[in-house]
Chain A
Amino acid sequence: DAKTTQPNSMESNEEEPVHLPCNHSTISGTDYIHWYRQLPSQGPEYVIHGLTSNVNNRMASLAIAEDRKSSTLILHRATLRDAAVYYCILRDSGGSNYKLTFGKGTLLTVNP
């Protein structure tokens, strides 16, 4: 799987938007961009994924750059419950697509 680069940590205030960046300059045309998060003392949970177009769901939005070399996970109004490690992962649509290869992720702190 291609590699991703994320900031080690970010801080936000409650009820403000949060933009979590991810660089994936070596992304291939068949790689999907997935985001998972891991709350303290829990297993990871799926957040959102996309290929080329921006995506929205009830948890977040995913903005994908036109050249696909970067993406941004957007939490529209952060809550204390959103404090977690956020992982940006590339998954190839072919080959061993079962695999999730986690990078180091971004630790998001949300201040009250």
Chain B
Amino acid sequence: DTEVTQTPKHLVMGMTNKKSLKCEQHMGHRAMYWYKQKAKKPPELMFVYSYEKLSINESVPSRFSPECPNSSLLNLHLHALQPEDSALYLCASSLPGASTSHEQFFGPGTRLTVL
């Protein structure tokens, strides 16, 4: 199984809502990532987890709260978002460690709209 799955595919939420995005992989990867991609722009890294511990936070606002409950799951909890947070949220996974040959496998993304 070389697949990263993300749910839901689409999400519409109001600025006062709390919602969560979910990402799952069963490739034994111990590094997992959240990226944000605005329309017609490249993906931008948000968070990196390595062995279930947060290792990189790219100065993301606290209204985005990541969680890695186990080695296969990655969540992104959303609260009090702004309309400008509307974007495609991509999850990825890879083998961890120092080798730069470790390719990242991406999921199809969750298309988020904040009203």
Contact = CB atoms under 8 A, between A and B. Distances in A.
Interface of A: 32, 34, 36, 41-46, 49, 85, 87, 91-94, 96-105
Interface residues of B, number: 26
Nearest to A102: B42
A101 B56 CA distance: 13
B33 A49 contact: no
Contact of A100 (B50, B101, B104): B104
Interface string B69-97: 00000000000000000000010101010
B39 interface: no
B44 A102 contact: yes
A87 B48 contact: no
Interface of B: 4, 31, 33, 42-45, 48, 50, 55-56, 90, 92, 94, 96, 98-101, 103-109
A43 B4 CA distance: 10
Please list the 7 inter-chain residue pairs (A to B) with the smallest Cβ-Cβ separation, ordered nearest first: A43-B106, A102-B42, A46-B103, A91-B100, A32-B100, A93-B100, A98-B48
9 contacts: A36-B104, A43-B90, A43-B109, A45-B105, A46-B104, A85-B42, A96-B56, A97-B98, A97-B99
A109 B29 CA distance: 33
Contacts, number: 61
Contacts of A91: 100
B101 A49 contact: yes
Given A49-B103, A100-B104, A43 B92 contact: yes
A43 B108 contact: yes
A32 B48 contact: no
